[in-house]
Amino acid sequence: MLKRLKKMKKEEKKSAAFLKKLDPAYQVEKGHKIKLAIEVANPDAEVKWLKNGQEIQPSGRYIFESVGNKRYLTINHCSLADDAAYTCVIGDEKCFTELFVKEPPVLIVRNLEDQMVMKGERVEFECEVSEEGAHVKWEKDGVELTRDESFKYRFKKDGKKHVLIINEVTKEDCGHYTVKTNGGESMAELLVQEKELEVYQNIADLTVKAKEEAVFKCEVSDENVKGIWYKNGVEVKPDARIHITHIGRIHKLTIDDVKPEDEGDYTFVPEGHAFNLSAKLNFLEVKIDYVPRQDPPKIHLDCVGHMAESTIVVVAGNKLRLDVPITGDPAPTVVWTKSDKGKSRMPKSDESSEVAFSADLMKDGQVITDADGRVHVESTKGHCIFTIEGAERQDEGVYTVIVRNPAGEDTADITVKVVDVPDPPQTPKILSVGEDSCIVQWEPPLFDGGQPIIGYVLERKKKKSYRWMRLNFDPYKELTYEAKRMIEGVAYEMRVYAMNAIGMSRHSPASQPFVPIAPTSEPIGLTVDDISDTTISLKWRAPERMGSAPLDGYAVEYCKEDSDEWVPAFEGLTERNSVTIRDLPTGERMQFRVRAYNLAGPSAPATLAQPVTIREIMQRPKIWLPRNLRQTLIKKVGETVNIVIPFQGKPRPKVTWTKDGEPLDPKQVSIRNSDTDTILFIRKSERKDSGKYEVQVQIENVQDKAEVNIQIVDLPGPPQNLKITDVWGFNVALEWKPPKDNGNSDITGYTIQKADKKTMEWFTVFEQYRRTNCVVSDLIMGNEYIFRVYSMNMVGLSPEPCFSKDSAYIQKTGIVYKPPVYKDHNFSEAPKFTHPLVSRSVIAGYNATLSCSVRGIPKPKVTWYKNKMDISQEAKYRMFSKQGVLTLEIRKPCPFDGGVYTCKAVNDSGEDTVECKLEVRPQVTKEDTKK
């Protein structure tokens, strides 16, 4: 653009044909209209308009106007094709300009959405912009993305939609992705999670006797996942009795020759995944004594009478199986009872629920009905088995097994504890927010599921989105968390999950929506505007960085020079950018500061460079005359005159106004003075108010003056002495003199009118005519005409015209000789290219031209094609035609501009075409040369 402007500046020369040339350059927004204007010396001059060397024909988009000496070219609905060079031609003289078409900013209508995907999946970030085919830029963590050889990133356009596609995401693809246009940007976050592991078979609780084998077995979805076994939180190491195997998806822990010390909680933790599988090994020691006949019943549990050691833990949803070895002869009767609190009462021996060699289930002395089929009681020789399918929380309690036979009875208590995932935590609260972070706090769940809470998992989402993003994969043990990497100004919500050894709870209710914001930067330009013995006036400008939250106001504070105690200058905040602080101690040196407040709190303070002494400063009087008053102020009669002239000076100076050296008339002119300016006001101006006004400000012997020229203009009087000086043929020559009263303004022209004495209807012959004589032509033979003239100045036409004293009669003439008509010779000729296009090979980035020449009568219409596509309206190309030589200029071609170019010439007698090939080679860099 600068090169184009420099060329135009060199071509500027004084012209006899142009009174006012085109401006060097014009700018217009796409879709709007632009008006190019010139002023010519000769009102009858013919003007041609050219675009890139081609003459413009009037149409709906190109409108030509001629008003007096001014010529206009209006271009409606400007497009990028109108970004070109325009020329106005009058005879042999030309003037040039450049039109730059500016595209309006492209806005983002639909923003990107945060996404959380599994490793190896495909991700699509999609947004929608305000215009089709707009150019957008994609960035990852501030680095622009391009289509690489591996096709990892692909970009797709579909009308207003723009899509970024990432194939087979990895952990390295995590981050913030941004799409930018020239009118805005949108950001979203991508989180990549390792593939979720599914559990096909969980490990189950085991109750094993001494010398037996215990096998914990689980099956997961990924056969490549390894894992670690733990016993009571300590890693299990294989030895002669303990074997750990991993075959495909199945993981096994086998313990041979079980001993009492093997009892405990066993956990399998898959590597790289935030969960574990747990089960309990219960050791059952059977004491077998010699039982003679008629032996009383005996329950063989090593934990009889010790409730703390007889607790069996089962995970909710798993199967609870109590297998109790018993002895007795004859075979004892078994009764099971359950008590939620303490030990259950033993039923009496004559209860109807006791049946020999059978088993009943009772709760608090009542038989439990097996309505849902979950509870099963079974007695076999030497064993009584109690089973609950899918244990639930209400199944917790103390189970008592009672065995009786005629020789006696025995009882044993077994405490069953059902553990489950915890309840969801309470609704989280947002304690504070920052520029891209927040601090969230929550309360533990009301019930921990019977196992201690090992941590929490947090998620967040944008308020308008439906995707929840996980913030941590490892359990977080605290109750306060700082969430980061959020986008300022976007509303978010948070929720929390609780985790124990069993698993993860349901999520908590979502928090109240919150918006990450940052305090503004400090106010800028804090200066002292005015100072007196007890007051000081400060002013400042708004902070450079306002942030996403609106500005609430400013707080001003002050302190003495040797003190650290800052005192508020007023209560609350002010929205103004200036303040006057009163009742300050005279002569004290004080420091002042200003802080801006928004929803995030106060900004850093803006402080004066050094303390200020509270004392009035003498200031010389000085008038600051506004630029528009340095030249004559022109007003029409009846208009209001309102002049404001600022000045400075301390103490307040004395202000004096005079007109042409005389005092002002207070009935006609009003004066109002303040500490900083003076105003001259005339409600309804008159011609006599014109003159030179002088204002003077004075403090003691020091003064300053300024002058203002006011010109009150009115309509002019009529011209004088309009005469008909000559009549010949159909023409009349007129002459007149300027008006006596020009309305206190230069005469800008005259309006001449004629009227036929038969009809007395007046018609305008000339408008804004500058001379005092003219020739009225094209009058009708046999008619008699009279004439009148109006004078014109900047206010308008004179109220009255000047009439011609005489009339002009157009005489009839004799018979006009009509010469014979001869048929013109037909010089038309079909177009023919006299010099063809030549194939070329150019380097990318440098302007290229293609040239050929053509002849034909009339001048043929020329059209350029690239690969048989019309390129006449594309801004990248410029077409020139001079004396039959046709030139196509390609601005900074790229490899895409290579191809077959065709030039076609057409007129009424025929058409002709030529074509060539253009090859665009990439630029050779220094690195390529070294290679």
Note the pLDDT tens digit of each residue in 225-255.
Answer: 888 888 887 888 898 888 899 888 889 999 8
Please report which helix (H) or strand (E) contains residue 668, including its range.
none
Percent of the chain with pLDDT over 70: 90
* Interatomic CA distance for residues 136 and 186, integer angstroms: 11
Residues 6+ apart with CB under 8 A from 602: 519, 555, 595, 596
For 782-796, the DSSP string reads T-EEEEEEEEE-SS-
Q: Find where tokens 């048989």 sit.
A: 868
Provide the pLDDT for residue 348.
Answer: 32
Query: Which of 235-249, 271-285, 692-706, 846-860 shows the lowest per-residue confidence on average (mean pLDDT)?
Result: 271-285
Question: Is there a contact between 676 and 648 (Cβ–Cβ < 8 Å)?
Answer: yes
pLDDT tens sequence across 261-312: 888 888 888 876 656 788 888 877 665 554 455 678 887 775 433 344 567 7
Residues 6+ apart with CB under 8 A from 30: 78, 79, 80, 101, 102, 103, 104
Please report which helix (H) or strand (E) contains residue 10, including its range.
helix 2-11
Mean pLDDT value across residues 48-65: 87
Task: Quote the tokens at residue 572.
Answer: 């609350």
Q: Helix or strand or coil: residue 90?
A: strand
User: 858 preceded by cis ω (within 30°)?
Assistant: yes
For 143-166, the DSSP string reads EE----TT--EEEEEETTEEEEEE
pLDDT tens sequence across 616-654: 767 788 998 898 888 999 999 989 999 999 998 887 889
Residue by residue, what is the 3-state secondary structure of 884-922?
A: CEEEEEECCCCHHHCEEEEEEEEECCEEEEEEEEEEEEC
pLDDT tens sequence across 318-369: 778 787 888 887 778 888 888 764 433 333 333 322 322 234 444 444 444 4
pLDDT tens sequence across 112-143: 888 888 888 889 999 999 888 788 888 988 88
* Interatomic CA distance for residues 463 and 454, integer angstroms: 29
pLDDT higher than 80, residue 813: no
* Amino acid identity for residue 418 in this structure: V
Q: Residue 744: left if φ>0, alpha if ψ -120 to 50, beta else—which one?
A: left
Task: Quote the tokens at residue 310.
Answer: 């007889």
* Interatomic CA distance for residues 251 and 242, integer angstroms: 14
Residue by residue, what is the 3-state secondary structure of 674-732?
A: CCCEEEEEECCCCHHHCEEEEEEEEECCEEEEEEEEEEEECCCCCCEEEEEEEEECCEE
Provide the pLDDT for residue 900.
Answer: 92
The DSSP call for residue 930 is H
Query: Which of 35-44, 274-283, 427-436 shows the lowest per-residue confidence on average (mean pLDDT)?
Result: 274-283
pLDDT tens sequence across 469-517: 888 888 898 999 998 888 887 889 999 999 888 888 888 999 988 888 8
The DSSP call for residue 449 is T
Question: Is there a contact between 696 and 703 (Cβ–Cβ < 8 Å)?
Answer: yes
Q: In 469-533, which ranges are E strands?
A: 469-470, 480-483, 492-500, 524-531
Question: In this predicted model, which residue has the larger pLDDT, 194 or 428?
Answer: 428
For 29, how many CA atoms within 13 A lie in the half-sphere containing its CB? 4
Interior angle at CA 215, CA 214 and CA 221, nearest 5 = 160
Mean pLDDT value across residues 11-15: 57
Task: Quote the tokens at residue 493.
Answer: 């919500």
Query: Which of 399-403, 633-637, 676-680, 769-773 shows the lowest per-residue confidence on average (mean pLDDT)?
Result: 399-403
- From residue 430, give the alpha-carbon distance in Å to each of 442, 479, 483, 516, 634: 9, 12, 10, 11, 65
656 phi, psi to nearest 5 deg: -130, 135
* Interatomic CA distance for residues 166 and 174, integer angstroms: 11
What is the distance of C-alpha 623 from the center of its chain? 47
pTM score > 0.85 for this model? no
Provide the pLDDT for residue 798.
Answer: 93
The DSSP call for residue 776 is E
What is the β-pairing status of strands 214-220 and 250-255?
Answer: antiparallel
- From residue 166, give the alpha-carbon distance in Å to each of 122, 144, 172: 6, 14, 12
Question: Is there a contact between 706 and 625 (Cβ–Cβ < 8 Å)?
Answer: yes
Interior angle at CA 593, CA 591 and CA 599, nearest 5 = 160
Q: Which of 713, 734, 721 is nearest to 796 (CA)?
A: 713
Residues 6+ apart with CB under 8 A from 245: 251, 252, 254
Question: Is there a contact between 675 and 654 (Cβ–Cβ < 8 Å)?
Answer: no
Provide the pLDDT for residue 365.
Answer: 40
| pLDDT grade for 14, boundaries at 50, 70 and 90 | low
Provide the pLDDT for residue 370.
Answer: 46
